[in-house]
Amino acid sequence: MLQQEAASHSLVKVEPPNGAMDTSTPISQKFVAMTTPTTNMTVPEPMDQDVPVTISALQACQVQGVQQPVVPQTVTSQMFAGRAVSISSLQNPAAVLGLPPGNTQPVMIQQTSSTQPVQRRPMAQSIVPQGNKVIPSPSAPGNKPMYFTTTSSSNKLIAISGNSVPRFVQSIGNLPRFQIVPQPRISPQTTLRPIAPRMATGTSTVVRPQVTQIQLKPANTPRPGKQVLPNPSQQATGVVQQRVLLQTHPGSTQLRAIAPNLGNLPPGATIQLPPGTIIRDGVVYVPQQVQTAGATTSGVQLSTAVQISQTVSSTAEPVNGVPDPPSPTRQRKPCNCTKSQCLKLYCDCFANGEFCSNCNCNNCSNNIDHEKERSKAIRACLGRNPHAFHPKIGKGTGETERRHNKGCHCKRSGCLKNYCECYEAKILCTNICKCTGCKNFEESPERKTLMHLADAAEVRVQQQNAAKTKLESQMEDLPSRAPILAHAGEKLPFSFVTLDVVEATCRCLLVQASAAEKKNTSRTDIQKLVLEEFGNCLLKIIHAANN
């Protein structure tokens, strides 16, 4: 599994935000950058110990406008290109790695903490196929292509000469800045084989846990969105679906899609994942680009999931790898969980198979930083209820298009408040429901009244919005308008009551008042005179306007 990560991604080590590093990874494993392929690749069988290092504490991060699926990580400092580079956040690791501008491939970051000197030594040839081609950036000395890899034993970056001939081992500190290019040796097949939860020995192991989450677009993904879409209206709003859950059964070869509705995958199915896919702790991350290309499977349409996602997110697909700005139609409802750590089905995000994002929750573990707990929680939920992540609203039989799969159990709400899951989903209660005093049936007068009220309210809102839009439009047009004639052909006031006219009118009124004051005219008479003068002014203005 980790080989896949190493083989398919640029890697640099990162310290998780909470500081909980995976201690299984040697700290001197400094590095680093591995191939981000442009072609599919085959996940190799486990090889000898000189395969790419075990990478831990991997965190997806953002590269030049690529949507970041997790919170920004904090990297302490790392030795790079012979100097210490302090990075407070990884907003732009591409700059550090020398990735070409506009790169949209995912980059994984690993923390580097060791500065121990590196000895040059010959490298075993067997490592080469696992190596990753690196060429120095134009500014770097020696523009020869280089291959590099790391080993689990030495924990050092190993650089190889350009023609793949192993040559020496080099510390990252001695490497020039480099850019990452595809590893041409990697063949275009990645397979998922369902296996028992515990790592099988000597086999290709891709899906280790029982539950595997396919996240469809971390590479240049938009924000996480709805995963389970129980009704078409939600799809119509452009809600984004990103992940599906796949389940493997111990001792079985069945790989089953749990959510959303992918149906059962045939036993023994192998799933071809697209290039750029990584798998970590049972989570499979598929880059966004793949969706447009349409991943295929050997015998199984994992691409179904991809296509589903694409269909759903079609209104909000990022362009050129740049994430879209937040869209109101795509924003899911943030949760407010306080006690569940967002790892129970109380949490809507978790229940929908989503990571929490922009939520108001406390002590949240529903994120990539707590993937182990999260996976455990998912398994626990599935243990209690194998259908826990199935959509609650399914397709009904006959004339009922949709219905609640489990039915509600309301007692006090009459199933006419949003407490009721049926009512909330805008569907009628069915005979599956065990509700008391249900009023959510076709002929219910209470329901009809409520519907009418709701319709009326909706119409009012629409009318208000339309009026508001129209007014705003008129206001925008107002300053730029030339004198406009009304229907009858006369000029409209704003075309002739100019600032000059107003000033002149005021001056006339002041003169009139001042003259009256000098004559010791009473206050009341002054007001009359001013009003008369104002009338005269208006007549003059009207007269002028009509000429």
For DNA, the binding residues (CB under 7 A) are 333, 335-340, 342, 344-348, 351, 380-381, 384-385, 388, 392, 406, 408-413, 415, 417-421, 424
Amino acid (one-letter) located at 220: N
* H-assigned helices in 136-190: none
Least spacing, CB of residue 445 vs DNA, in Å: 18
Select 302 or 393, whichever has its Cβ closest to DNA. 393
* Residue 22: C-alpha distances to residues 106, 110, 210, 256 (Å): 21, 11, 21, 30
Select 344 or 491, whichever has its Cβ closest to DNA. 344
Least spacing, CB of residue 408 vs DNA, in Å: 3
Least spacing, CB of residue 327 vs DNA, in Å: 20
Q: Which helix (H) or strand (E) holds 244?
A: strand 243-248
Least spacing, CB of residue 373 vs DNA, in Å: 13
Select 432 or 484, whichever has its Cβ closest to DNA. 432
Report the 3 state secondary structure along 467-512: HHHHHHHHHHHHHHCCCCECCCCCECHHHCCCHHHHHHHHHHHHHH
Least spacing, CB of residue 308 vs DNA, in Å: 22
Least spacing, CB of residue 436 vs DNA, in Å: 8
Strand 283-285 relative to strand 211-215, pairing? parallel
> 202-207: long-range contacts (C-beta < 8 A, 24 or more apart)?
202/46, 203/45, 204/43, 204/45, 204/46, 205/1, 205/46, 206/1, 206/4, 206/43, 206/279, 207/246, 207/248, 207/255, 207/279, 207/282, 207/284
**Lookup result for tokens 């034993």:** 153
Which positions ≥6 away from 420 have C-beta within 8 Å? 408, 410, 413, 429, 435, 440
Least spacing, CB of residue 146 vs DNA, in Å: 50
Select 290 or 342, whichever has its Cβ closest to DNA. 342
Select 330 or 439, whichever has its Cβ closest to DNA. 439
CA angle (174, 180, 183) in 5-degree steps: 115
- From 176, 79, 169, select the one nearest 137 (Cα to Cα): 176
Select 7 or 337, whichever has its Cβ closest to DNA. 337
Least spacing, CB of residue 171 vs DNA, in Å: 47
Select 278 or 337, whichever has its Cβ closest to DNA. 337
Select 147 or 389, whichever has its Cβ closest to DNA. 389
**Are 370 and 393 within 8 A, CB to CB?**
no
Select 208 or 223, whichever has its Cβ closest to DNA. 223
Residue 515 has which token pair? 């003259």
CA 391: distance to chain centroid? 21
**Lookup result for tokens 């002590």:** 363
Least spacing, CB of residue 223 vs DNA, in Å: 17
